[in-house]
C-alpha cells in the first residue's frame, strides 16, 4: 500500500485577490485640475458678484460684507412689474428671427458651395469671409439712413435684418465645412434608391450635419441676444427697445440703480445659459467639423 502525497495548492495571495491597488493622482494631474478650477472661478466670480448685488437692498450697496444681511427678492419682482418683460420678449423675437433668417439663407448657400465646384466659388467664399470683417459700428450712419428711407426705424424687422446680415458669414463658413466633411456616397446611395436632391438633403445630409447647424444657431442667437449698438441707434421708443438697451436706462447721469440693473442682467443671462447647456455637446462637435478626415 503506497501513500500518495498531494502537493498543497498555494492559496492566492491577498494582494492578488484584492486586485491592483488604486493609484494616487500624479502631481501634474493635480496641478492641472487646480489650475482649471481656479480659471473657472475667475470667470464665474463676476456672475456671483452680479447675483449678490441683485439681491442687496439699496441701503447695503456700500457695505463691505460679501453677503447681504437681508435678501431683497423684490428687485427681481420689480423687473416684471416695471414693464421690462416686454423688452425681454422683443429681445427673444429679434434673436429668434435673426437665427431663422440666417439658417434659411446659409443652409442652401453652404450646401451648394460644398457640393459643387463652379466658377467663382473661391471668390464667393472669400467675399463671404470679407463681410465678416466689417463691424456694424463702422457702418451705423449708412445703416440708419437706409432703414430710415425704408421706414423701418424703431422696428423689430430692422434689428432682425441687421443681426441676420452680420452673422450670415460665420454660418455659411461653419456649415460649408461641415457639409464638406459628409461623404457624397451617402447621397448617391439615396439617389439610387429613388430619393431626389431635396429628399437626400433633408433625410440624410441635414441629420448628419446637425452639430454644425446647432453651432451656427447658438452663435447667431447669442450674438443677436447681446447686440447693443445697432439696437440703440435704430430704436427710439422704450417699448420697441431690446432688453440690452432698456437696461441702460438704469444708468443715470449722477447715480446708477445697481440692484435693479444687476437683477435685469441676471434674468437676461439665464435663458442663454440654459440654451447653451442643453446643446453644448453638439456645439463642441460642430466646432471641430472638418478637423479629422
- Tens of pLDDT along the chain (293 residues) come to 444 444 444 444 444 444 444 565 688 888 888 899 999 999 888 888 888 888 887 777 777 777 777 777 877 877 777 678 888 899 999 999 999 999 999 998 888 888 877 787 778 878 877 877 777 778 888 888 989 888 888 889 999 999 998 888 888 888 888 888 888 888 778 788 777 777 777 888 888 888 888 888 888 998 999 888 889 889 888 888 898 888 887 777 677 777 778 888 888 888 888 877 777 666 655 455 444 44
Whether 293 is covered by a domain: the verdict is no
Whether 2 is covered by a domain: the verdict is no
Whether 248 is covered by a domain: the verdict is yes
Sign of the four-CA dihedral 35, 36, 42, 48: negative
Please enumerate in sequence order all residues whose Cβ is within 8 A of that of 87, keeping only pairs 6 or more positions apart, or say none.
Answer: 238, 239, 241, 242, 243, 245, 246
In the structure grid, which three cell numbers stand for residue 24, read together? 494616487
For 122, the domain range is 83-253+260-287
Co-location of 64 and 89 in the same domain: no
Please enumerate in sequence order all residues whose Cβ is within 8 A of that of 55, keeping only pairs 6 or more positions apart, or say none.
Answer: 68, 71, 72, 73, 75, 259
**Domain containing 231 — which CATH number?**
1.10.3720.10
Whether 228 is covered by a domain: the verdict is yes
Amino acid at each position: 500500500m503506497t501513500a500518495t502525497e498531494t502537493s498543497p495548492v498555494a492559496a492566492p495571495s491577498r494582494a492578488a485577490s484584492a486586485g491592483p491597488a488604486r493609484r494616487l493622482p500624479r502631481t501634474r494631474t493635480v496641478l492641472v485640475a487646480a489650475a482649471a478650477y481656479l480659471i473657472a472661478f475667475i470667470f464665474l466670480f463676476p456672475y456671483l458678484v452680479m447675483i449678490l448685488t441683485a439681491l442687496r437692498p439699496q441701503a447695503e450697496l456700500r457695505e463691505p460684507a460679501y453677503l447681504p444681511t437681508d435678501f431683497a427678492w423684490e428687485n427681481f419682482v420689480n423687473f416684471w412689474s416695471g414693464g421690462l418683460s416686454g423688452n425681454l420678449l422683443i429681445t427673444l423675437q429679434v434673436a429668434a428671427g435673426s437665427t431663422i433668417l440666417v439658417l434659411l439663407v446659409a443652409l442652401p448657400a453652404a450646401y451648394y458651395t460644398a457640393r459643387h465646384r463652379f466658377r467663382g466659388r473661391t471668390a464667393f467664399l472669400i467675399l463671404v469671409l470679407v463681410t465678416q470683417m466689417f463691424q456694424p459700428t463702422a457702418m451705423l450712419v449708412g445703416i440708419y439712413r437706409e432703414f430710415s428711407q425704408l421706414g423701418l426705424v424703431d422696428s423689430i424687422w430692422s434689428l432682425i435684418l441687421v443681426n441676420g446680415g452680420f452673422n450670415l458669414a460665420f454660418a455659411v463658413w461653419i456649415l460649408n465645412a461641415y457639409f464638406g466633411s459628409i461623404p457624397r456616397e451617402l447621397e448617391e446611395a439615396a439617389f439610387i434608391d429613388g430619393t431626389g436632391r431635396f429628399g437626400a438633403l433633408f433625410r440624410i445630409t441635414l441629420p448628419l450635419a446637425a452639430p454644425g447647424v446647432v453651432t451656427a444657431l447658438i452663435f447667431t442667437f447669442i450674438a443677436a441676444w447681446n447686440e447693443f449698438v445697432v439696437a440703440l441707434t435704430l430704436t427710439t421708443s422704450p417699448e420697441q427697445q431690446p432688453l440690452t438697451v432698456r437696461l441702460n436706462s438704469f444708468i443715470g447721469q449722477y447715480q446708477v440703480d445697481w440692484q435693479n440693473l444687476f437683477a435685469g442682467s441676471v434674468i437676461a443671462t439665464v435663458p442663454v445659459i440654459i440654451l447653451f447647456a442643453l446643446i453644448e455637446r453638439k456645439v463642441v462637435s460642430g466646432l471641430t467639423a472638418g478637423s479629422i478626415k
